[in-house]
């Protein structure tokens, strides 16, 4: 195992960087999309229920199947990988964003509006900061979940550590096959752990002490 890692250390580091980059960029995009959608629907019970239903149903879709379906319209490579990772990342963040924004005390919102804040200003300066700890919890869940989804994206020649896993599985019994699978799997786990620590630190830096959960 050690010989395998040493002989392919450069390739492993590059794949790890690609994997982390795919996940981080996708989670950032998913967070923006989820917050925008939640801002539009959280005040309407019907729209909120529909968004929650879509989120719940979306999580039941097998990632491998969805990635395969992306081949026909988008081909192989980065684009279908990004689409699938963003899709799965958006779902838990959207659910938490709706819960977080819905939990903001309406009296605080009315008070902000009463002192002359615009609807956008109220959202950005009152509602979003108060809902942020709950939203960030969804971001952390999404980041952990899509770390594995990003590995499956190697099926469509997406970037990342999934390539080691699929290469190893395709030639099980051959030289270095098991080592390749283990390297990819352990690498994904380590990246997930590191990213969660980073998000935990971001949460402490961006959340007021009075509303930390």
Q: What is the pLDDT of residues 108-167, one digit of tens each?
A: 888 888 888 888 888 888 899 999 999 999 999 999 999 999 999 888 888 899 999 988
User: In percent, how much of the chain has pLDDT > 70?
Assistant: 98
Dist. CA 156–CA 163, nearest whole Å:
10
Query: What value does the mean pLDDT of the chain take?
Result: 90
Q: What is the CATH number of the domain that holds 143?
A: 1.10.3720.10
Cβ neighbours, 10 Å, residue 103: 12
Range of the domain at 22: 2-211
- Among 10-19, 32-41, 106-115, 197-206, the least confident range: 106-115
For the segment 90-99, the average pLDDT, to the nearest whole number, is 96
Please state, in angstroms and as integers, the Cα–Cα distance from residue 143 to each residue in 42, 64, 81, 127, following that order. 23, 18, 15, 23
Count of structural domains, the chain: 1
8 Å CB contact between 102 and 130: no
DSSP assignment string, 182-202: HHHHHHHHHHHHHHHHHHHHH
What pLDDT digit, counting tens, does each position of 51-69 carry?
999 999 998 999 889 998 9
Whole-number pLDDT of residue 84 = 95
pTM of the predicted model over 0.85 = yes
Tell me which residue of 53, 122, 131 sits closest to 91, measured CA to CA: 53
Whole-number pLDDT of residue 88 = 96
CA 194 to chain centre: 14
Dist. CA 15–CA 81, nearest whole Å:
14
What is the greatest pairwise CA distance in the chain?
71
């Amino acid at each position: 195992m050690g010989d395998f890692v040493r002989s392919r250390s450069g390739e492993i580091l590059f794949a790890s960087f690609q994997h982390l980059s795919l996940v981080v960029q996708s989670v950032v995009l998913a967070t923006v999309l989820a917050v925008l959608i939640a801002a539009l629907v959280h005040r309407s019970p019907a729209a909120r229920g529909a968004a929650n239903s879509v989120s719940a149903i979306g999580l039941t879709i097998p990632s491998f199947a969805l990635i395969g379906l992306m081949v026909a319209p988008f081909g192989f490579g980065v684009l279908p990988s990004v689409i699938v990772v963003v899709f799965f990342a958006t779902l838990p963040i959207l659910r938490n964003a709706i819960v977080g924004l819905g939990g903001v005390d309406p009296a605080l919102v009315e008070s902000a509006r009463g002192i002359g804040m615009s609807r956008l200003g109220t959202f950005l300066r009152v509602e979003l900061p108060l809902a942020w700890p709950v939203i960030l919890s969804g971001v952390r869940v999404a980041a952990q979940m899509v770390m594995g989804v990003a590995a499956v994206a190697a099926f469509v020649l997406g970037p990342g550590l999934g390539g080691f896993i699929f290469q190893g599985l395709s030639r099980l019994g051959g030289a270095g096959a098991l080592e390749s699978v283990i390297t990819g799997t352990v690498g994904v786990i380590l990246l997930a752990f590191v990213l969660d620590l980073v998000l935990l630190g971001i949460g402490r830096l961006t959340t007021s002490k009075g509303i930390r959960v």
